[in-house]
Amino acid sequence: MDSQSKKHMETIASANKEMLDYFNKTFLSNLETIQDLKTQAFEIDIKIDELKKTRDLYAFKSTSRKSVFTPTISDDFDNERSKIIDAQVADLENAKEAVSSKILSLEASLTSLKKRLAVLNQAEESIKALSLEEEKREEELIEQEGFEFVEEPQEEDIGSHGYNILMQDAFDKALLSTLIDRNIKSGITSVNHKLEVLSYLLNTDISRAKLTVQEVQNNLENILISVDDIDNRLDYNLESSKPIVAQIDDFIANQRDLHPEYVIESTIASTDDELNLHPVFSINLIKLLDIFFGNIYAHSNANKIEFRLTINPNIIETTIQDNGIGIRDNYLAQSPWYSGLHKSQEIIFLLGGKLDIKGDVINGTEIKFSFPIEAK
């Protein structure tokens, strides 16, 4: 390739990279906006629920009077207050409809952006492939002419990996924030409202008070479930101080308990069963296993998993095989950038390891990865 052709190729590669960065940033910005709008819609729902329950309290009438001198409540006054609340509820429902419309519009925009990103990613891979082919041709020509060709190792674009990691971290934080707002904050708000109603019902209607107590208990149980879910996402229960073999045994036992519909066969080979790894290796190993096992449960349609782990003094090697429907060769292009498969790729890159995923309908999917380790 002459200098002019190289210049053209560099211009195309630079333009494609610039467009890819732009659409990635736009995608992330839209995703954050959607999360904010969903939070707004959630808060509107809470306000609507509170207003409706307040209106129901006004509508609740007790026919009991302590004596003939007990004053009666004016129906007209209560009706007027109910009308005011109805108007407020209508305004909030209109606001929620507007927010929902924006969310739908932005989600449609995300779908369009995904298609553009897929095309740009494919273009970037094609540009890299063409560049590599041209380099090979130049190497062959130099060797034919009798010159010794000294190959310089190509450095991966660490900047792009760092950008991907930052985006995935931002997505994880946005997801956790949404779960806290939607499941925990809403549950606590609902419990607080029910307790206020309960304090009123204890003096007026014991049967309704008992039902409200049951509702409070159900809400608290749901909050605890949500807390456990968020704890798991944050690896709260991971005991990185234990020997790595024990940690893996605990992980597999937990997977069997959570997914009894799967036959999970496990083989662990280690030169030292009491080996303690630095937490950066043990935590990320468990995280990778969690990603790959979760992907099998969600997408493979399998019912059997064979897991093999070999721990050598300086390296960990892992194989996970299922009997499902396989995986496409272009699985990364088909998966959103925030998917578990993309995260696993970035984690293994940071650990200086290797990842290979392949599969078909006949053999299922085979996942192999390895990375160097150090003892604690």
Q: Which two tokens stand for residue 74?
A: 């004016």
Question: Quick check: 96 pLDDT over 90?
Answer: no
SS (H, E, C) 143-210: HHCCCCCCCCCCCCCHHHHHHHHHHHHHHHHHHHHHHHHHHHHHHHHHHHHHHHHHHHHCCCCHHHHH
Contact 326, 365 (CB under 8 A): yes
Question: Quick check: 111 pLDDT over 70?
Answer: yes
In single-letter form, the type of residue at position 61 comes to K
Q: Which two tokens stand for residue 287?
A: 């995280």
Q: For residue 347, count CB atoms less than 10 angstroms from its CB and return exposed for 0-12, middle for 13-18, buried for 19 or more.
A: buried
Which position has the higher pLDDT, 318 or 11? 318
Which position has the higher pLDDT, 318 or 331? 318
Task: Name the least confident of 5-9, 38-42, 198-202.
Answer: 5-9
Q: Which two tokens stand for residue 121?
A: 């990613």
Give the single-character DSSP code of 67: S
pLDDT at 264: 96
Q: Which two tokens stand for residue 175?
A: 């997801």
Among 287, 316, 281, 289, residue whose Cα is nearest residue 305:
289
SS (H, E, C) 267-293: EEEECCCCCCECHHHHHHHHHHHHHHH
Contact 54, 47 (CB under 8 A): no
pTM: 0.47
Which position has the higher pLDDT, 322 or 108? 322
Task: Name the least confident of 11-15, 42-46, 231-235.
Answer: 231-235
| pLDDT tens-digit readout, 136-193 | 766 665 455 544 434 444 455 555 665 566 555 655 666 666 777 777 877 788 788 7
* Residue 28: pLDDT band with limits 50, 70, 90: confident
| SS3 category, 95 | helix
End-to-end C-alpha distance for the chain, whole angstroms: 50
CA distance 333 to 2: 32
